[in-house]
Amino acid sequence: SQQGEEDPQALSIQEGENATMNCSYKTSINNLQWYRQNSGRGLVHLILIRSNEREKHSGRLRVTLDTSKKSSSLLITASRAADTASYFCATDAVGGGYNKLIFGAGTRLAVHP
Amino acid sequence: DAGVIQSPRHEVTEMGQEVTLRCKPISGHDYLFWYRQTMMRGLELLIYFNNNVPIDDSGMPEDRFSAKMPNASFSTLKIQPSEPRDSAVYFCASSLGPGNQPQHFGDGTRLSIL
């Protein structure tokens, strides 16, 4: 069963707007990672946030983690057409066995010029 | 630096044939992962290796699937015999750690079994 579930499943915005994607998970985690996947390509790592961190920034990306609510959000500010992709959260669950990542189903983001 | 390299990028074959997918991880990465991605099931971990040794193969769907890592720079995923339901995109990824490090993905092999 999936550990992380993204919300919304799809998001359509205009260039310059902010995009917010959410991820909820079920069990305690060691860390949570966000990845981007462009059509026909492999996943690209964006950011890793550890369970004792609440917020991280990387360029136009801002990730928050609320372990009490078992949720995370990814904010992309001032979006560009090139941000069009699917975004996945992945969790490294505590006691999940061999510390493997479990990926959610992803959010499809479309940024229109 | 070269990323994770997978071959072939596309494979179309008939049911019952043997399929071999290949992966070259990033040099120095001790962990190698094989994933399968479908619309219905999303991204599933099939198996992963640490220092060329299989650690967790619980995601391998059935005995028709096998994976090997004969050395640190090469891994194969084999399906024999192949079935139409094996059609998917197969990704290889490598990392410096299991779940606590970023994973670097290849661009995948799109497999179609007719």
pLDDT attached to residue B99? 76
Tens-digit pLDDT profile for residues A2-37? 466 888 999 999 999 999 999 999 888 889 999 999
Q: Do B91 and A43 touch (CB under 8 A)?
A: yes
* Distance between CA atoms of residues A84 and A38, nearest Å: 7
Nearest CA in chain B to A106: B42
Residue B98 has pLDDT above 80, yes or no: no
Angle CA B43–B48–B54, to nearest 5: 150
B residues 36-95 lying closer than 8 A (beta carbon) to A: 42-43, 45, 48, 55-56, 58, 91, 93
Taking all residues of chain B, what is their mean pLDDT, rounded to a whole number? 95
Instruction: Tell me which chain A residues have a C-beta less than 8 angstroms from the C-beta of B7.
Output: none
User: CB-CB: which of B99, B104, B107 is closest to A99?
Assistant: B99
Residue (of A82, A80, A84, A78) closest to A107 by Cα position: A84
